[in-house]
Amino acid sequence: MLLISLSGYTQPITGTWQVSQQANCMSGELGEISETEEELLGEMASRSGNTPKTFTFNSDGTGTENWRTHGKRKPSSKEKFLYRYTDGVLYLLDKKSRLITGTYIVEEITTSSLIIINKDRTCERVEFVRIQ
Tell me if 33 sits within 8 A of 106, measured CB to CB: no
Residue 114 scores a pLDDT above 90: yes
- Contacting residues for 94 by C-beta, under 8 A, at least 6 apart: 82, 100, 101
The reported pLDDT for the residue numbered 10 is 60
Q: What is the rounded CA–CA span in Å between residue 50 and residue 20? A: 12
Architecture (CATH level 2) of domain 2-130: Beta Barrel (2.40)
DSSP helix/strand/coil, 67: strand
Q: What is the pTM of this model?
A: 0.71
Region of 20 on the Ramachandran plot (φ > 0 left; ψ -120 to 50 alpha; else beta): alpha
pLDDT in tens, 19-50: 988 887 765 555 666 778 777 766 665 555 55
